[in-house]
Amino acid sequence: MAKHEELPIPIYNNLEPVYGGGSSLEEAQLRFDNLKSKFIEIFGHAPQVYARSPGRVNLIGEHIDYEGYSVLPMAIRQDTIVAIRKNESEKVLRIANVNDGKYSVCTYPADPHQELDLKNHKWGHYFICGYKGFYDYAKLKGVDVGQPVGLDVIVDGTVPTGSGLSSSAAFVCSSTIAIMAAFDVNFPKKEIAQVTCDCERHIGTQSGGMDQAISVMAKTGFAELIDFNPIRATDVQLPAGGTFVIAHSLAESQKAVTAATNYNNRVVECRLAAIVLAIKLGMERKEAISKVKTLSDVEGLCVSFAGTHNSSDPVLAVKEYLKEEPYTAEEIEEITGEKLTSFLNINAAYLEVIKAAKHYKLHQRAAHVYSEAKRVHAFKDVVSSNLSDEEMLKKLGDLMNESHYSCSVLYECSCPELEELVKICRDNGALGARLTGAGWGGCAVALVKESIVPQFILNLKECFYQSRIDKGVIKKNDLGLYVFASKPSSGAAIFKF
């Protein structure tokens, strides 16, 4: 039997396999009906096909996917649906949104080679990422999709934006899959996960691939241990009696907008930490600069060093060879023997980082990555152990708390609102709570005993959200969008009805 990640995206003629039964099915049916009538109203004909991809919550393993390490996310029920139809008469891509009050129609030429204007950030750019990715990949695979044609598109997303729940990946994945389905093409899930990861880079974010992999490969009832190079997914059955509650800090995390000082800055710091470690551990300077891309590339050297101290922990090498004080660019250039701008010029996003950065905290970033990578496997080991559910939940909670400390103190990707929210979660009975997603805003995820979930959510409302409702930051009726319990949901799908 083919492995899960080698199967193509499933195609359904009804909603039940994805949305289940009962009220969630009714709700989904309403959304699809609304999407169809909106499509007819705007474009004058019905869509040809629909695709959906879910958001995700990362349970543990933050900011380590782009360093080549495994992560452990699960899909949530919130998703992005794209309705699409080829329009042979006009060579234009017209992208509308169900929420037309917030998102006006974007139009682009039907040209897969167009460059995105990143200074003028438009929501439709995410669709174009998928569009470019599809054409590049079809060409690579030798699939003839003919001359570019116009596409009429409507998007309906329920993943809150800027929440750290991967609204951007849900949008890019559902767009790519919808375009693929419109051209009657299907590829294996692992290939689509890779393509969608690569094509989000058109928008200037150096994504590590976790968000796309879980959105495409998720299965109902399971979290997934996602490995990279090559992309693989292993089902992880979470213990009974525990539920994950996701709560928005109401600080929006604008990953693409703040990339140079936040997200991409950390990508560069990790790369520099890896190169400096390689040189200090005996690699030739030129070889380190040309071959070392991520901290996982030098883990072997770090572990060998630790071995001489009767340990296998790569953090020992970090403590020995990377100073805790921030490095200046000049100090790093002295070690590498080359200007940062000369060996990081492979990527325009990296040059933006160098322009904006005053210094580089190599010790802290490397210590976070190596310790967080270890916590992911500890999490998986706990879940597959013989411990009672009660003991298992406690250990998982401890790992989540350690992860948050590392993200907050070593990686510095938290913010005051997240710190307040995580503390309130723990004070109200969460076994563990941590920021999730890129950070700098967005959501926290808390592991809570199933029996106390309703009370826990009420307490969060009282201790965190009520003051924000009073100030008019959010509406009381919208609270369900910002705090909710979630079980692992299903991955991407295509619908033809």
Is the pLDDT at 343 greater than 80? The verdict is yes
Q: Scanning the structure block, which residue is given the tokens 């695709």?
A: 51
Q: Out of 65, 79, 156, 211, which one is annotated catalytic?
A: 211
Q: Please, which pLDDT band fits residue 206 given cuts at 50, 70 and 90? A: low
In this structure, what DSSP letter does residue 219 have?
B
Of 455, 454, 436, 438, whose CA–CA distance to 446 is shortest?
Answer: 436
Average pLDDT over residues 194-216: 84
> Is 64 exposed, middle or buried (CB count within 10 Å of its CB: 0-12, 13-18, 19+)?
buried
Average pLDDT over residues 91-118: 94
Of 105, 9, 99, whose CA–CA distance to 51 is shortest?
Answer: 9
Average pLDDT over residues 166-191: 95
pLDDT at 117: 87
Give the separation between CA 52 and CA 41, rounded to whole angstroms. Answer: 21
pLDDT at 394: 98
Residue type at 355?
Answer: K
Q: Please, which pLDDT band fits residue 208 given cuts at 50, 70 and 90? A: confident
pLDDT at 119: 82
Q: Scanning the structure block, which residue is given the tokens 């974007």?
A: 106
DSSP characters for 320-362? HHS-SSPBPHHHHHHHHSS-HHHHSTT-HHHHHHHHH-S-B-H
Q: Please, which pLDDT band fits residue 301 given cuts at 50, 70 and 90? A: very high
Preceding amide of 73 cis, omega within 30: no
Q: Please, which pLDDT band fits residue 303 given cuts at 50, 70 and 90? A: very high
- pLDDT above 70 covers what percent of the chain? 98
Is the pLDDT at 401 greater than 60? The verdict is yes
Give pLDDT tens digits for 412-453. 999 999 999 999 999 999 999 999 988 899 999 999 999 999
Average pLDDT over residues 352-356: 93
Is the pLDDT at 491 greater than 70? The verdict is yes
Phi, psi of 180 (to 5 degrees): -55, -45
Please count the residues of the chain: 497
Average pLDDT over residues 7-25: 95
Is the pLDDT at 259 greater than 90? The verdict is no
Is the pLDDT at 255 greater than 90? The verdict is no
The yes-or-no answer on residue 211 being catalytic is: yes
Q: Please, which pLDDT band fits residue 3 given cuts at 50, 70 and 90? A: confident
Of 240, 257, 172, whose CA–CA distance to 211 is shortest?
Answer: 172
Other CB atoms within 10 A of residue 10 CB = 15
pLDDT at 1: 56
At 110 the three-state DSSP class reads: coil
Of 90, 7, 87, 76, whose CA–CA distance to 39 is shortest?
Answer: 87
- CB distance 249 to 442 below 8 Å: yes
Is the pLDDT at 114 greater than 90? The verdict is yes
Give pLDDT tens digits for 66-98. 999 999 999 999 999 999 999 999 999 999 999
pLDDT at 45: 96
Give the separation between CA 298 and CA 305, rounded to whole angstroms. Answer: 11
Mean pLDDT for all residues in the chain: 94
pLDDT at 2: 65
Average pLDDT over residues 216-244: 92
Average pLDDT over residues 20-31: 94
**Tokens at residue 479, please?**
């609270």
Average pLDDT over residues 254-269: 79
- Considering the entire predicted model, what is its pTM? 0.91
Question: Strands (DSSP E) along 134-238, which ranges?
Answer: 150-157, 223-227, 232-236
pLDDT at 205: 67
Average pLDDT over residues 259-285: 93
pLDDT at 202: 81
pLDDT greater at residue 117 or residue 493: 493
